[in-house]
Amino acid sequence: MRTAKQRVVGALWVLLLTGLITACDEENPPVIRMASTTSLDNSGLLDVLLPRFQQESGIAVRVLAVGSGQAIRIAERGDADLIFVHHPEAEHNFLAGGFGTQRYPVMYNHFVLLGPDTDPAGIRDAPSVEAAFLAIARQRSPFISRGDQSGTHMAERALWKSAGHQPRGGWYREVGSGMGATLQMAVAQSAYTLSDPATWLAFKRPGELEILLGRKAGMRNVYSILPVNPGRHPHVKYKYVMRFIDWLSGDAGQQLVRNFRPRGEQAFSLLPAE
Amino acid sequence: MTDIHEAFATALQLLLQLDPGLLEIVTLSLKISLSAVLLGALTGFPLGAAVALFRFPGRDLVNAGLHAFMGLPPVIAGLVVFLLLSRSGPLGPLGLLYTPAAMVIAQWLLVTPIIAALTCESATEFHRSYDEQLRSLGAGPWRTMTTVLWDGRFNLVSAALAGFGRASAEVGAVLMVGGNIHHLTRVMTTSIALETSKGNLQLALALGIVLMGLSLALNLAVIIVRDRVKQRYA
């Protein structure tokens, strides 16, 4: 019996050690951690880019898909090597705080204002997104806000501010969720919501919501990469991060972004290198 | 209803095809949860037995603490481990945040109180019936503890299974300290949360069915082995 017991204990130790080894062998091949917005991950773009980059460079990019606000805070703590986000104001603060080395704008698209095709607030022909927001507020039509400090949430708050209205009341629902979950709630409640177009393309189901407004002033949505400053966090793999940025701004990367067409529609437009 | 039917069909399909993506996350889930239960047993068994057998200052507090921590919200466990392991935290230089090891630590925090509390219950019971006998034999504290633990080993198996249940079902803590990174820290529960948030409800439910099936199989296997061994002793 003694031996049987010892055997069990031995097997358990082996199990524990394999668990710990799994934890430790991540450095071969080299691995960098990218804190990125959920929209890039959910849209499927990263699934196109990262395997190709790994194939060509031998560098694996691990993605923490969170809201832009959280991505920036993760990087400030030194828990990521780079961020790929869409919240210019917070990005500039990130640089000003000495957390990043530089801001590399990569691509852009335009946010879309979605709603039920019955369009109870009549925003389809609104002259501006601010006018549309005010119409929704006046009608007290249900509007779902991300409420999670993400880039999309911050863009939405900026648009309310520029409309000069502080949304408040039962019709304005802050859900504190990612874009996918928010879209589902908007569908379920026949509500208006602001979305990035890439997630919308990846998620939309026929006959649920419609794009009622897009491509208006203030709806431009720029995605940038910011490497974490190795002067601030010496353990970050700055060299590999720069390899990724060079690759993405080179022919191979640019072509993949340009040809990324979920459901046949262009999701991102490239920005000229600065 | 069609959604639920199709979820079962998807689950079956994933299992029959031995889908490599599924195998990867299932293997990782099992490795992490079993490691956490093993660590939880190594710490929880002696801790529970000590509370049952010995009179020491603060014993009531430890006992109450064990029971209170059985209800620890996983997000809080995740938050504590996150702050400890973050590069800006006290254990930051280890670089463990967003690795499977961080997930094991978080789950270990969650399972140890359950294992210790159940061990304590079992040890109290056995101690009551053996106390005089052990004392007349002049057994020291170490001997008493190992005897009580060994005689209660079938109860300890149940304690470990309860711990495994908590570990494998948990999502908040591993999401926080693991980051749900594809190919690195994505496990069953975080995949289910992700697919749900993406609106892939059938796939999410299918993964849930696979998770429950695995849990059922593991519990069944352990219970059968335990009862076989028990019979041989009886």
Tens-binned pLDDT, residue by residue, of chain B (234 aa): 677 888 888 888 888 888 888 899 999 999 999 999 999 999 999 999 999 999 889 899 999 999 999 999 999 999 999 999 999 999 999 999 999 999 999 999 999 999 999 999 999 988 888 888 888 888 888 888 998 999 899 999 999 999 999 999 999 999 999 999 988 999 999 999 988 877 777 888 989 999 999 999 999 999 999 889 888 877
Burial of B180 (0-12, 13-18, 19+ CB in 10 A): buried
In this prediction, residue B161 carries a pLDDT of 94
In a domain, A22, yes or no: no
Could you read off the pLDDT of A117-173 as tens digits, one per residue? Answer: 999 999 998 999 999 999 999 999 999 999 988 999 999 999 999 999 999 999 999
Tell me the pTM.
0.82
Residues of A with CB under 8 A from a CB of B: 12, 15-16, 18-20, 22-24, 26, 33, 42, 62-65, 77-79, 177-178, 180-181, 183-184, 203, 233, 235
Same domain, A198 and A253: no
Instruction: Name every chain B residue with its beta carbon within 8 A of the beta carbon of A77.
Output: 86-88
Provide the number of CB pairs (under 8 Å) joining chain A to chain B: 74
Specify whether A152 is located in the same domain as A196. Answer: yes
Q: Which of B79, B83, B181, B190 would best serve as a mutation to test chain A binding (most A beta carbons within 10 A)?
A: B181
Is A133 inside any structural domain? yes
pLDDT of A186 > 50? The answer is yes
User: How many other C-beta atoms can be found within 10 angstroms of the C-beta atom of residue B152?
Assistant: 25
Average pLDDT over chain A reads 89
**B61: number of Cβ within 10 Å:** 9
Whether B87 and A184 lie within 8 Å, measured CB to CB: no
CB-hemisphere CA count at 13 Å for A213? 26
Q: Is residue A206 part of a domain?
A: yes
Please tell me the distance from the alpha carbon of residue B188 to that of residue B170, in angstroms, as a whole number: 10
CA-nearest residue to B88 within chain A is A77
Domain coverage including residue A152: 112-218
Burial of B24 (0-12, 13-18, 19+ CB in 10 A): middle
Q: Residue A70 maps to which CATH number?
A: 3.40.190.10
pLDDT band at residue A16 using 50, 70 and 90 as cut-offs: low
On whether both A183 and A256 belong to a single domain, the answer is no
A80/A205 same-domain check: no
Residues A187 and A138 in one domain: yes
The first and second tokens of residue A101, run together, are: 């080395």
What residues of chain B lie within 8 A of the CB of A15, using their CB? 31, 34-35, 38
Cα–Cα distance measured from residue A5 to residue B225, given in angstroms and rounded to the nearest whole number: 13
Q: Name the pLDDT band for A27 (thresholds 50, 70, 90).
A: low
In a domain, A14, yes or no: no
Q: Could you tell me if A236 and A104 lie in one domain? A: yes
The answer as to whether A9 is a domain residue is: no
Residue A149 located in a structural domain: yes
For the beta sheet containing A143-145, the strands, ordered from the edge strand earlier in sequence to the opposite edge, are A172-174, A143-145, A192-195, A112-115, A210-214
The answer to whether A147 touches A176, Cβ cutoff 8 Å, is yes
For chain B, list the domains and their CATH numbers.
21-233 (1.10.3720.10)
* Same-domain check for residues A127 and A163: yes
Answer yes or no: are the C-beta atoms of A91 and A72 closer than 8 Å: yes
Does the complex come out with an ipTM higher than 0.85? no
Residues A91 and A117 in one domain: no
Which residue, among B99, B95, B79, has the nearest Cα to B87 in the 3D structure? B95
Distance in angstroms (rounded) separating the CA atoms of residues B121 and B143:
19
- Give me the pLDDT at residue B55, please: 87
State the alpha helices, DSSP H only, in B137-199: 141-151, 153-169, 172-178, 188-197
The CA distances from residue A256 to A36, A91, A248, A266, in Å, are 18, 25, 9, 11
pLDDT number for residue A42: 82
| CA distance to partner chain B, nearest, from residue A208 (Å) | 13
Q: What is the pLDDT of residue B13?
A: 87
Regarding whether A242 and A178 lie in a shared domain, the answer is no
**Residues A226, A105 share a domain:** yes
Domains: count for chain A: 2
Does the residue A160 lie in any domain?
Answer: yes
Contact predicate A43/B198, CB 8 Å: no
- Give the B-side interface with A, CB within 8 Å: 28, 31-32, 34-35, 38-39, 86-88, 92-93, 95-102, 104, 179-184, 196-199
For residue A25, being part of any structural domain is answered with: no
Q: Within this chain, do residues A204 and A229 fall inside the same structural domain, yes or no?
A: no
Q: Residues A35, A93: one domain?
A: yes
Mutation to test the B interface, candidates A37, A38, A50, A79, most B Cβ within 10 Å:
A79
pLDDT band for position A255 (cuts 50, 70, 90): very high
| pLDDT over threshold 60, residue A19 | no
Q: Six-digit token pair at B139? A: 């057994």
pLDDT given at position A1: 44
B131 or A61, which is more confident:
A61
Q: What is the pLDDT of residues A194-243, one digit of tens each?
A: 999 988 888 877 667 999 998 888 899 999 999 999 999 999 999 999 99
Give the separation between CA A114 and CA B63, rounded to whole angstroms: 55
Q: Decide if A45 contacts A268 (C-beta within 8 A).
A: yes
Q: What is the mean pLDDT of residues A57-73?
A: 94
